[in-house]
Chains A and B, each alone.
Chain A
Amino acid sequence: MNMNLTLKIWRQKNASDKGSMVDYKVTDISPDMSFLEMLDVLNEQLINKGEEPVAFDHDCREGICGMCSLYINGEAHGPDRGITTCQLHMRMFKDGDTITIEPFRATAFPVVKDLIVDRSSFDRIQHAGGFISVNTSGNTIDANAIPVNKHDADDAFSAATCIGCGACVASCKNSSAMLFVGAKVSQFALLPQGKVEATDRVLNMVKQMDEEGFGNCTNTGACEVECPKGISLENIARMNREYLAASLKG
């Protein structure tokens, strides 16, 4: 059965605007729509009325790019588990529901407009050390030529599935980015190719994370629950070990 819904949406003209919650009605919403399609319907209505459409981030719409954000009814990516907002279906809601939609909130994720936040702080953390230095001038060594323990390879792959969406920061009561940074540190620290720069990597990435203004992890575990890719808290523990070992060395 199609639904009529009330939406409470954060509207903010630009980064310096104060912003506020604004109520909207949408009608005849199919339960088979994705959440973003529902917002498309709303925007079509707004455009037809000559009003400013709601700005929100999206790209692949298949749960891979990490672009869509949104804090829906008090949870990052809404009430479902292991999904991004583009994978959230309207069947998760009932006719007559009121849905609150806010941008991801963190000092390190400033609002650009409406529901769009600037997550380039994640990029800067990656630039600080989320890479390995490899000669790519025609002499690149085949990564598969180096034997890797299967368990380590699996853990590294799991960590590498992080899409950098920022749900961990948005869900954390402290706006901590440690699940993201833990995943990025782990995906290299577990592999032989990443060990060479491991000390500098973890020190530089954590330093950048702190400089960006993310909060301190207090192990609530909210990030792990809300992560669309199921990144485990083990990655934060590994980063803590890596950081302490690197601090003692360096």
Chain B
Amino acid sequence: MSGILNSSIGRKFAMALSALFLMVFLLQHFAINLLSVFSGDTFNEVSHFMGTFWAVQYLLQPVLIFGVIFHFVMGFVLEIKNNKARQISYAKNNGAANSTWMSRNMIWSGLAILAFMVLHFIDFWIPEINTKYIVGDMSGMHNGEYRYFHELVEKFHSPLRVGAYVVAFVFLALHLLHGFNSAFQSIGANNKYTKGLKTFSKVYAIGIPLGFIFIALFHHLTGH
């Protein structure tokens, strides 16, 4: 077991596990955000629960932060190692003949998602941490009502921010179109279910980002 992360397959396995964890997180994030379209009150209640329940805040949140950091740091490490494995490039390379654009450009789609996450953290996560753990206000209230839905809608007033979110989710879809199946292959799951999984992965990879785009546009266009 020792030194498994020093091997190419160990790193690939760890990358896949962090990816699978992030994909499960993405699904629950989407499910909660979708509530905002149907009911501001329900969205407020669930957001308050997620923002104050100890297991989410002190167990799951640190795991999530670790998972995100691990995934992109390992992504950079693998990219550097892989570049070293071919120091002289081909004069002519026809990558499109044997692989998808998504599979060849995970580092670029990943970097776009990372840039988006900086914006997303500035928009939501940092103010949330500041209010709860620096100011010390765990009530979730503002002017006598829950603040979460109001904060969400307010952020999506800006067309520039909505545009940035839409672009980021397109990159997320491109990343997932390769990443979803790739994670299963990396953990050694390539069997009779792979074909069905590939179909499901397309639904997930396009459906979830499209859903996030819908939520952002919904609040931008309706103003509530």
Binding site for B on A (CB under 8 A): 8, 10, 21, 71, 73-75, 79, 100, 102, 105-108, 171, 173-176, 178, 206-207, 209-210, 213-222, 225-226, 233-234, 236-241, 243-244, 247-248, 250
Contact = CB atoms under 8 A, between A and B. Distances in A.
Contacts of A234: 190-191
A199 B98 CA distance: 33
B82 interface: yes
Given A218-B182, A219-B186, A233-B185, 5 more contacts: A178-B8, A220-B100, A234-B190, A243-B7, A244-B4
Is chain A's binding surface mostly helix, strand, loop or mixed? mixed
A57 to B, nearest CB: 18
Contact of A176 (B85, B97, B181): B85
A21 B89 CA distance: 13
A175 B82 contact: yes
Contacts of A106: 85-86
A75 B96 CA distance: 10
B39 interface: no
B85 A107 contact: yes
Contact of A240 (B13, B87, B93, B94): B13
Interface residues of B, number: 41
Given A219-B186, A221-B103, A236-B185, A108 B90 contact: no
A216 B182 CA distance: 13
A216 B104 contact: no
Nearest to A248: B1
Closest 10 CB pairs of A and B: A74-B94, A215-B85, A237-B190, A241-B188, A225-B98, A174-B82, A175-B85, A220-B103, A220-B99, A215-B82
B149 to A, nearest CB: 40
A168 B217 CA distance: 44
